Each structure stands twice: as structure tokens, then as C-alpha cells.
């Protein structure tokens, strides 16, 4: 049976004031008399009466009894005595509620003595009854509904995968039927501490650092030669003229120092797949070398197809625009655009995907001990992580472009079984 609505509760309140029997009220809202009776008794609003001297006895305000404690020379009324509680020793003590509350309509809405009555009362008010019912329903949904062996099995399934660094979205996408609860419920179980893992094991639960105040950008920087006709506004205009063109976002990831190896990342926005290329340094010439390597690997036509438009930031490693856009023979291979300074939100997908890299290679860790084979392994685990934005598929599963699939094959990229995905520091422990 569906729950009562506010409009139905208003009909019940009006029926009470009209002094209608419960069966007549039930007919008006097409419910059983028992449903109306339970509704009134469950969601009525109690009002505390005047308890004389804090005593809930019905006779407290007029009681003149003395010496209940056995002291013959005590002239104090027992109801005001602080040494003994008269309710525990008085035979006349009566705290039974008014008889009106124990028979239909179970409330004092229409009682003629309600303004004079000093006892505990109850009223049925539709809005308050509706709020109380919704609050009680909400509280019931917050309780843990998995117990015993089911909870133990859930813990054994989820905890090892979380400790591997797998996001809950990925785990739930792969084992949703086995888990038996929604993602939100799973988060709530962890928050309540019913599983072996805690909030601290969920990276995003730790929160973000406060954003730093943006620095003013000089006009000179905005007018640099490599940015001309390649600004974010130019990018938007180009995409408006060429709708549906695939976009690749590009960035670099630093290790512990300005010197040493860096990562060049290329993120395919339509599938969330990311390439990770290990560079010997962060110089602009080294970035151009990676473009030349990919062009040689794919061929010029396939490179144009896979990387038609690249959106990146204003780092000095990307200042050789002409060399990135054209081959050594002067043939165009891509179109490069630059975000506004200090506006990383203009390429949010690659910034978000960098979180997965930091799960395995935290900030402050040098990349010098690693090889390109290590980066291929890291990319395989990241690209095998299922995403809610892709319909609970992984970037590998969402990729169907033949040229991109050929690039994956040539670079040694391949899917990892869902339960073997490892996004913890143990993946590349060196």
C-alpha cells in the first residue's frame, strides 16, 4: 500500500473537525479505516500538559496529601517534597492519559475542554503529520539493512578492492549484482563504519585543499607569439565551425623537481582514454619529439584522424606550436589551442584523470626510476577503470575507433581484468 500524501492527510484533519467517523474519512481518501486509525495515532502531535512541581500525576495540582513518608509532624504537602518522590509511595498516583486519546478520533482537536485541560494532549495537524512521516521514513532508510553473513561477504568483496586503490564506481560497476546495494548505500556503510575500511581509505573523502587566490596575468603573457590565433576563444570558434571534431586534451605531470623526467599525458575526451608518455625532461623540444614518434608510429593520415584538435595549457614546454602542428616536411598534422592562463577548468577531463596517476605516483615522487614500460602498465590500469560517465564501462571498452585501437596495439596498451585493477602505490613500487 502506498504512503499517504499531504492532501490525503488534509482530508483526514478536516474529517476530524467535522466529527466524522473513521470509516467515513477512510472512504473519502479510498483507504481502510485501519489505515486512518494508524495514521492518526502514529503521526499525531503530542503536547505536554502542565505538570505541577514536575509530577505527571493527574491530581498533582490539587493534591493536599501529607506524611506519606511516615513523618507525623511533617506539614509539607508531599507533592512539593524533594526528599521523597510521592509518585512512588502514593496509592492515588494516576498518570493515565485522558480517555479521549484511547478512542477514536484519538486526538483532542474537537474536545470541548481542550483549552482548560492541563493534562497531556495530542492533536492531528496535517502538515506536521506529513513532516513526521517523511522524517521517520528517511531515518529508516539510513539504517543498515545488511546483516550477518551478507555483511561479512560484502566486506570481504569490497575491502580488498578498495585497498588496491579501485574507485567505488569501478567496483560497483563490476560487482553491482553481488554487492546488492546501491553506490550511495555503499558509501553510507563505509561512513557508518560497518565495514573494515573507513572514510580515510577513500581518497576523495579527505577533501581538497583551499583554492589559492589567482594571480593577475600580465598583458605581455597573453600576447605571446605562440598563443596568437590559438586562444580558448579561438578554440570555441573553431569547434563551432567544426562540430563533432574529436578533442584531445594535453598536459604534463611533474615529479619532485623541475629537473628530471616528466609525463606527457594525452586524454581523449570522448572515451576518457589517456596516453602516458615518459619524457627525459620538460623541454619544448622533447614534447615535439613525442609528436614525431606518434606520427611515425601511426602515419600522418592516422595521426590527423586520432589527434585532429589538441587543447593544452600555457606551459613553456608547449611553446613550439609550429613544430607540434606540422611535420619536419611542413605538412600539417594537428591543430593546437591554449586555455586561458590559470583556467585549468577549461580542460577538466584531463585534470580529473590526473588524479588516477597521483594515486600511484603521489606528488613529490621522482619519475627518474621509471621506464616507459612502467607508464604503459599504469595507463592500462587507469584505462581499465570503469567510469559512471561512460555507462559503467572502462575507457578501453568505450573505444571503438580503428585508428585508436591500432595505436593501442602498437603501444602495448591492453585491458586489465576488473578485479585486478590496482591504483595504489604498490603498482609501481620502486
Q: pLDDT tens digits, residue range 370-405? A: 999 999 999 999 999 999 989 999 999 999 999 999
- Could you tell me if 235 and 335 are in contact, meaning their C-beta atoms sit under 8 angstroms apart? no
Q: Give the per-residue pLDDT at 364.
A: 84
Q: Is 167 helix (H, G, I), strand (E, B) or coil?
A: coil
| Average pLDDT of the residues in 113-125 | 82
pLDDT value of position 221: 47
pLDDT at 360: 93
pLDDT confidence of residue 262: 93
pTM for the structure as a whole: 0.65
Burial of residue 182 (CB within 10 Å: 0-12, 13-18, 19+) is exposed
Binned at pLDDT 50, 70 and 90, residue 211 comes out as low
Cell numbers standing for residue 300 = 600522418
323 — pLDDT class (breaks 50, 70, 90)? very high
* Selected residue with higher pLDDT from 394 and 73: 394
pLDDT score, position 186: 86
- The number of angstroms, rounded, from the C-alpha of 181 to the middle of its chain's C-alpha atoms is 15
Which segments of 223-311 does DSSP mark as H helices, in order?
A: 232-241, 284-298, 300-306
CA nearest neighbour of 424 among 202, 188, 197, 172: 202
Separation between Cα atoms, residue 304 and residue 67, nearest integer Å? 103
Q: Which cell goes with 343?
A: 583556467
The string of pLDDT tens digits covering residues 254-285 is 987 667 899 999 999 999 999 999 999 989 99
Neighbours of 213 (CB within 10 A): 5
Mean pLDDT of the chain: 87
Residue 427 burial (CB count, 10 A): 18
Task: Tell me which of 365 and 304 has the higher pLDDT.
Answer: 304
Q: What is the rounded CA–CA span in Å between residue 400 and residue 163?
A: 31
Count of positions (residues) in the chain: 430
70, 86 in Cβ contact below 8 A? no
Which residues does residue 265 pair with via DSSP β-bridges, in sequence order? 251, 276
Q: Which of the 8 DSSP states describes residue 242? A: S
Query: What pLDDT sits at residue 136?
Result: 86
In DSSP terms, 336 is beta-bridged to 310
Residue located via cell numbers 505536554: 48
Q: Give me the DSSP letters along 72-88.
A: TT--SBGGG-SSS-HHH
Mutual angle of helices 33-43 and 22-29, in 10-degree steps? 100
Amino acid at each position: 500500500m502506498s504512503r499517504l500524501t499531504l492532501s490525503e492527510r488534509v482530508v483526514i484533519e478536516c474529517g476530524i473537525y467535522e466529527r466524522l467517523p473513521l470509516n467515513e474519512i477512510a472512504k473519502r481518501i479510498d483507504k481502510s479505516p485501519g489505515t486512518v486509525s494508524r495514521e492518526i495515532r502514529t503521526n499525531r502531535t503530542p503536547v505536554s500538559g502542565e505538570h505541577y512541581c514536575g509530577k505527571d500525576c493527574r491530581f498533582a495540582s490539587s493534591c493536599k496529601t501529607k506524611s506519606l513518608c511516615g513523618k507525623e509532624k511533617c506539614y509539607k504537602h508531599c507533592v512539593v517534597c524533594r526528599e521523597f518522590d510521592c509518585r512512588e509511595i502514593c496509592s492515588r498516583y494516576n498518570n493515565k492519559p485522558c480517555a479521549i486519546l484511547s478512542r477514536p478520533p484519538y486526538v483532542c482537536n474537537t474536545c470541548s475542554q481542550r483549552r482548560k485541560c492541563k493534562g497531556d494532549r495530542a492533536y492531528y495537524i496535517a502538515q506536521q503529520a506529513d513532516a513526521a512521516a517523511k522524517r521517520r521514513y528517511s531515518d529508516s532508510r539510513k539504517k543498515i539493512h545488511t546483516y550477518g553473513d551478507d555483511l561479512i561477504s560484502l566486506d570481504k568483496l569490497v575491502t580488498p578492492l578498495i585497498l588496491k586503490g579501485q574507485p567505488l564506481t569501478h567496483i560497483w560497476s563490476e560487482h553491482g549484482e553481488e554487492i546488492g546495494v546501491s553506490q550511495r548505500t555503499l558509501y553510507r556503510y563505509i561512513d557508518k563504519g560497518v565495514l573494515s575500511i573507513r572514510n580515510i581509505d577513500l581518497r576523495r573523502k579527505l577533501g581538497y585543499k583551499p583554492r589559492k587566490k589567482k594571480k593577475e596575468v600580465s598583458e605581455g603573457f597573453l600576447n605571446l607569439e605562440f598563443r596568437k590565433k590559438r586562444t580558448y576563444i579561438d578554440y570555441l570558434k573553431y569547434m563551432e565551425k567544426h562540430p563533432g571534431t574529436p578533442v584531445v586534451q594535453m598536459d604534463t605531470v611533474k615529479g619532485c623537481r623541475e629537473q628530471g623526467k616528466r609525463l606527457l599525458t594525452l586524454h581523449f575526451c570522448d572515451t576518457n582514454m589517456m596516453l602516458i608518455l615518459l619524457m627525459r625532461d620538460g623541454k619544448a623540444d622533447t614534447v615535439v619529439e613525442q609528436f614525431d614518434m606518434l606520427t611515425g608510429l601511426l602515419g600522418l593520415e592516422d595521426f590527423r584522424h586520432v589527434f585532429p584538435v589538441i587543447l593544452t595549457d600555457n606551459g613553456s614546454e608547449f611553446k613550439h606550436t609550429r613544430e607540434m602542428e606540422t611535420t619536419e616536411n611542413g605538412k600539417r598534422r594537428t591543430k593546437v589551442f591554449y586555455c586561458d592562463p590559470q583556467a585549468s577548468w577549461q580542460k577538466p577531463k584531463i585534470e580529473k584523470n590526473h588524479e588516477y596517476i597521483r594515486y600511484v605516483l603521489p606528488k613529490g615522487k621522482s619519475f627518474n626510476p621509471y621506464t616507459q614500460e612502467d607508464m604503459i602498465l599504469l595507463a592500462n590500469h587507469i584505462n581499465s577503470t570503469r567510469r559512471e560517465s561512460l555507462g559503467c564501462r572502462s575507457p578501453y571498452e568505450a573505444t571503438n575507433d580503428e585508428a585508436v585501437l591500432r595505436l593501442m596495439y602498437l603501444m602495448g596498451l591492453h585491458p586489465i581484468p576488473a578485479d585486478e585493477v590496482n591504483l595504489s602505490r604498490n603498482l609501481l613500487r620502486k
